[in-house]
Every structure is written in C-alpha cells, then in structure tokens.
C-alpha cells in the first residue's frame, strides 16, 4: 500500500509518500513542502496547492491520501484559511479517485511515537527512524506529512488484521 500524507498549512503544505513494502517495511518515496508566499492571493495559493498535489499524485500513484483533522486554531480567520487548504487537498485527492482518511493529531502522534502528547521533535525523530532516513525530513511540515502517512499505514494494517481474525 502507498499513502500520500498531507500536512495542510497556509504558508507550507507538507507532503510525504510512504509505501508499506512486502516485508512490512516502511519506505519513504518522496517528501517536501509546497511553500506559499503570503504576498500571493489566497485563491492563487489554493490553486498552487491543488496543482502541486495533483502532480505528486500523478507521479507517485498513491492508493490513499491521509490528512490531519482540524483540531484548534488561534482565531477564526486562521481556521477558515486552513479549512480552505484542507478542502483543496481533499479535492485534489478525490479528483484523482482517491479515498481521503482524516486523523486527529493525538492519533497521529500515538501511531508514530506511542504517545499522543509527544513533542514535535519526538515525532520528527521517530519518523526518521521508522523510515530509516539518514536525516530528519525538512521542513518540519514534510516530517508531519510523513507521520500522517505512517499513521494511516499502521491503522490500515491493524484494521486488516482485526478483519482477518473476525472472518
């Protein structure tokens, strides 16, 4: 299974494609961030996110997309902008016929670190370790996107095992 994890943001939108190999080994295929200029209008930024995510989907052919669920924003304006970015990310995925899974921040941290209130640096270090990377992915948004993808892979694997036991 191959998953595109997306860490939505209005300045940086992180992405990471992770594959679960035949030997249950996690493999990082790509990661990075779509940097957006605050001087660019919001509609232009949203268009850039849509186009770039679409290109990543075409290039890496993920089976699923996973994003972080909205949790808390400092103000209503920030929450609305973040919601628009999330909507565009979902649109890019659904336009490609992909299913989108959403995960709460506590769930993502628990799946990657084993503790839902883990610090950002702990998540980054565990992502690098789980993916056998030489360095911590940069920018931090890329590491967060990889963590989201890993969370989906772990969750899917657990659900598949539970389903197999029930049958």
The contacts of residue 74 (CB under 8 Å, 6+ apart) are none
Whether 141 sits among the annotated catalytic residues: the reply is: yes
* Dist. CA 58–CA 111, nearest whole Å: 27
Whether 144 sits among the annotated catalytic residues: the reply is: no
- Active-site position among 7, 69, 102, 138: 7
Task: List the chain domain ranges.
Answer: 2-166
The length of the chain in residues reads: 167
Tokens standing for residue 91: 């649109």
Among positive and negative, which fits the CA dihedral 154, 159, 160, 161? positive
Q: What is the pLDDT along the chain (167 residues), one digit of tens a residue?
A: 999 999 999 899 999 999 999 888 999 999 999 999 989 999 999 999 999 999 999 999 999 999 998 766 678 888 888 999 999 999 999 999 999 999 999 999 999 999 988 998 999 999 999 999 999 999 999 999 999 999 999 998 666 666 555 55
Helix (H, G, I), strand (E, B) or coil at 149: helix
The predicted structure's pLDDT at residue 130: 96
Whether 11 sits among the annotated catalytic residues: the reply is: no
The predicted structure's pLDDT at residue 33: 98
The contacts of residue 36 (CB under 8 Å, 6+ apart) are 10, 11, 12, 13, 45, 48, 49
The predicted structure's pLDDT at residue 77: 85
- Active-site position among 11, 59, 68, 119: 68
The predicted structure's pLDDT at residue 159: 65
The CATH superfamily assigned to 2-166 is: Ribonuclease H-like superfamily/Ribonuclease H (3.30.420.10)
Helix (H, G, I), strand (E, B) or coil at 154: helix
The predicted structure's pLDDT at residue 158: 67
The predicted structure's pLDDT at residue 72: 65
* Dist. CA 149–CA 155, nearest whole Å: 10
Task: Supply angle C-alpha 98, 104, 107, rounded to 5.
Answer: 105
């Amino acid at each position: 299974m191959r998953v595109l994890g997306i860490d939505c943001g209005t300045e940086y939108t992180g992405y990471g494609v992770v594959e679960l190999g035949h030997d249950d080994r996690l493999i990082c295929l790509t990661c990075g961030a779509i940097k957006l200029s605050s001087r660019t209008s919001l509609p232009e930024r949203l268009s850039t996110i849509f186009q770039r995510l679409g290109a990543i989907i075409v290039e890496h052919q993920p089976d699923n997309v996973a994003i972080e669920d909205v949790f808390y924003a400092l103000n209503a304006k920030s929450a609305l902008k973040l919601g628009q970015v999330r909507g565009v990310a979902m649109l890019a995925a659904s336009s490609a016929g992909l299913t989108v899974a959403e995960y709460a921040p506590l769930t993502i941290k628990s799946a990657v670190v084993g503790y839902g209130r883990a610090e950002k640096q702990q998540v980054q270090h565990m992502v690098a370790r789980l993916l056998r990377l030489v360095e911590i992915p940069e920018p931090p948004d890329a590491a967060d996107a990889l963590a989201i993808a890993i969370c989906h892979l772990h969750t899917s694997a657990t659900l598949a095992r539970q389903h197999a036991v029930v049958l």
